Structure 1
Amino acid sequence: MISSNQPGPAPADPSHDSTRFVLIGTSHPGNVGSVARAMKVMGFSDLVLVAPRFADVLSREETVAMASGAADILVRARIVPTLAEALDGVTHACATAMTPRDFGPPTVAPRPHFEQLARQGDRVAFVFGCERYGMSNDDVYRCHTCLSIPSNPAYGSLNLAQAVQVLAYEWRQALGGFPVAPRTEDVTLADAVAVQGALTHWEGALTSIGFLDPAAPRKLMPRLQQLANRARLSVEEVQILRGIARLVQQPRPPKAKPLTPGQAGHPDATLDGPPRPA
């Protein structure tokens, strides 16, 4: 599950929500629940169903389960018999259909159309057809525009709830999105003296392991200086770097000489005599 870091509460009353989502002839309860969830995530609340397959679809177990916390959208949703009733009060209806209709409204891509629509102050409805057949010609003709979501030409099939989520996101972005609280971190940046001290420490450490040749430094330290400046090191990070440099400069214990055959501890040695023959 993907969680959003830009939460926005849905309006408490759908009468104050200027955006309506209309589902025509929906046949799968799970889709209705998923649509409610998609709407709530984007801060919308006005859901209207036109002649769904099941009259009790809003209260079915699968619907509520797929809503996953958006049951309040289902409680406020309405069921009406016709699209005309669903569009009551709407000033701009957007049909969703992959195939343009002859003599129908203009077909547009969502994003550029939404940029213009958001400036007009309309009461907007997004209209979705049933899962199997989409929208009828008569239903499309009632709308002002027909939205076509850009997709793979070889496979443009979107699940109903997926289509709602895409359009709800694009419309929310066109409306200005949600305010994002600035992330504040309790970080104290190291001053120039501390950074220079760490670099000097690292210069000694790199020299001790042979990585830096003082006779031919090849601009290594100026490059590390620029790296540190870009990194905007914190006080804690400088302490970590100096701790590493300190450990690098500690003398290492001498390597143990390998054991010879016959010497105590060698795998071929015996307790009572010379090495065992191979």
Structure 2
Amino acid sequence: MQTERPILPNAPAVILVAPQMGENIGAAARAMLNFGLTEMRLVAPRDGWPNPKAVAMASGAAGRVLDHAKVYPTLAEAMKGIEYAYATTARGRELTKPVLTPEAAMAETRARAGRSAIIFGPERTGLENDDIARANAIVTVPVNPEFPSLNLAQAVLLMGYELGRDTLPPEPAPHARRADSEELADRVEIERLGDHYDERLTEAGFFFPDTKAASMRLNLRNMWSRLPLTRGDVRVLHGILRQLTRR
């Protein structure tokens, strides 16, 4: 079975070394597909493969990442065809390798012509030095030094984001046209709402004492103009005021 064609050009393979829980593999697949990564390679998953818990966690579309996942007994075999590999770890600095941030590493990957891979370690211990030694460079996330641990899916998501942020669409897809009640109210509608409240609050004696009435009115008018009210919101606020003053 061939791996799906990636959404991103020259997208790296994601290699999970000795993942322990099927749920984490499924969550990693979801994170991958969020950013156009589709090639997953598994090294000796603890609970075997395939794993129904991984499929359940992948939730629909991301299941196709798992459908094409390949399993290898060792990391060395999983790196077949890979020309440049990044080991994601907060350890291994005693090894003489470049240490990069996710941003810098994924910028390199986008510019590189050959096949790349991002290697992630098991959830409890992370990558061992023997695994890190097989990579060209280390990627370390600049996080709170008092709590540097990321779970597997978080780490995959972060790397995928850095890889895809200059390639995938920069803005969310536009939503369908809003219903009238969801459209933002225009300035005239806001002005009428302000007038309505001004009238009723005046009748109720809210603007007291007279020396402060002008500034109170100004502040109230300014408040209405700041709020991102929809037409539906305006109608509700008119209705509330009418009901409160009806008696």
The aligned residue for residue 202 of structure 1 is 197
Q: Structure 1 residues 224 and 120 mapped into 2: Cα distance closer, same or farther (>3 Å)?
A: farther
Q: Distance in 1 between matches of 2:44 and 2:21?
A: 13
Q: Distance in 2 between matches of 1:242 and 1:205?
A: 11
Q: Distance in 1 between matches of 2:194 and 2:22?
A: 64
Q: 1:48 aligns with which of 31, 38, 41?
A: 41
Q: Distance in 2 between matches of 1:53 and 1:243?
A: 61
Question: SS at the partner of 2:214?
Answer: coil
Number of matched residues? 238
Residue identity in the other structure for 1:105: K
The aligned residue for residue 178 of structure 2 is 185
Q: Distance in 2 between matches of 1:33 and 1:168?
A: 15
Q: CA deviation at 1:77?
A: 1.2
Preserved CA contact (<8 Å) 1:118 1:174:
no
Q: Distance in 2 between matches of 1:29 and 1:235?
A: 47
Greater alpha carbon shift after TM alignment, 168-177 vs 37-46: 168-177
Q: Structure 1 residues 219 and 177 mapped into 2: Cα distance closer, same or farther (>3 Å)?
A: same
Question: SS at the partner of 2:172?
Answer: coil
Q: CA deviation at 1:247?
A: 4.2
Residue 64 of structure 1 pairs with residue 55 of structure 2: yes
1:63-102 Cα shifts (integer Å, max 9, x gaps): 4334343332222111234434433333431102221343
The aligned residue for residue 5 of structure 1 is none
Q: How does 1:98-137 map to 2 (within 5 A)?
A: 98-120=90-112, 123-131=115-123, 133-137=125-129
1:221-257 Cα shifts (integer Å, max 9, x gaps): 233333333336555444444444444544x4xxxxx
Question: SS at the partner of 1:211?
Answer: coil
Q: Distance in 2 between matches of 1:82 and 1:74?
A: 19
Q: Distance in 2 between matches of 1:140 and 1:195?
A: 61
Give the structure with higher Rg (CA). Answer: 1
Q: Structure 1 residues 78 and 178 mapped into 2: Cα distance closer, same or farther (>3 Å)?
A: farther
Which TM-score applies when normalising by structure 2? 0.74
1:36-69 Cα shifts (integer Å, max 9, x gaps): 3332343321011234456xx2223344334343
Q: Structure 1 residues 139 and 99 mapped into 2: Cα distance closer, same or farther (>3 Å)?
A: same
Q: Structure 1 residues 237 and 125 mapped into 2: Cα distance closer, same or farther (>3 Å)?
A: same
Q: Distance in 1 between matches of 2:230 and 2:51?
A: 55
Residue identity in the other structure for 1:13: R
> Unaligned regions of 5+ residues in structure 1, if any?
1-10, 253-278
User: More relative contact order in 1 or in 2 (CA 8 Å, sep 6+)?
Assistant: 2
CA RMSD of aligned residues (A): 3.5
Q: Distance in 2 between matches of 1:241 and 1:66?
A: 43
Q: 1:222 aligns with which of 218, 221, 234?
A: 218
Q: CA deviation at 1:211?
A: 0.7
Q: 2:84 aligns with which of 50, 70, 92?
A: 92
Residue 140 of structure 1 pairs with residue 136 of structure 2: no
Q: Distance in 2 between matches of 1:195 and 1:66?
A: 46
Residue identity in the other structure for 1:227: M
Residue 36 of structure 1 pairs with residue 29 of structure 2: yes
Preserved CA contact (<8 Å) 1:115 1:174:
no
Q: Structure 1 residues 122 and 219 mapped into 2: Cα distance closer, same or farther (>3 Å)?
A: farther
Q: Structure 1 residues 207 and 124 mapped into 2: Cα distance closer, same or farther (>3 Å)?
A: same
1:132-157 Cα shifts (integer Å, max 9, x gaps): 55434343233221012233433433
Q: Structure 1 residues 138 and 180 mapped into 2: Cα distance closer, same or farther (>3 Å)?
A: same
Query: Quick check: which one's helix share is greater?
Result: 2
Q: Distance in 2 between matches of 1:195 and 1:31?
A: 49
> Unaligned regions of 5+ residues in structure 2, if any?
none
User: Percent of counterpart pairs with the same letter?
Assistant: 32
Q: 2:155 aligns with which of 159, 163, 167?
A: 163
Q: Distance in 2 between matches of 1:53 and 1:112?
A: 32
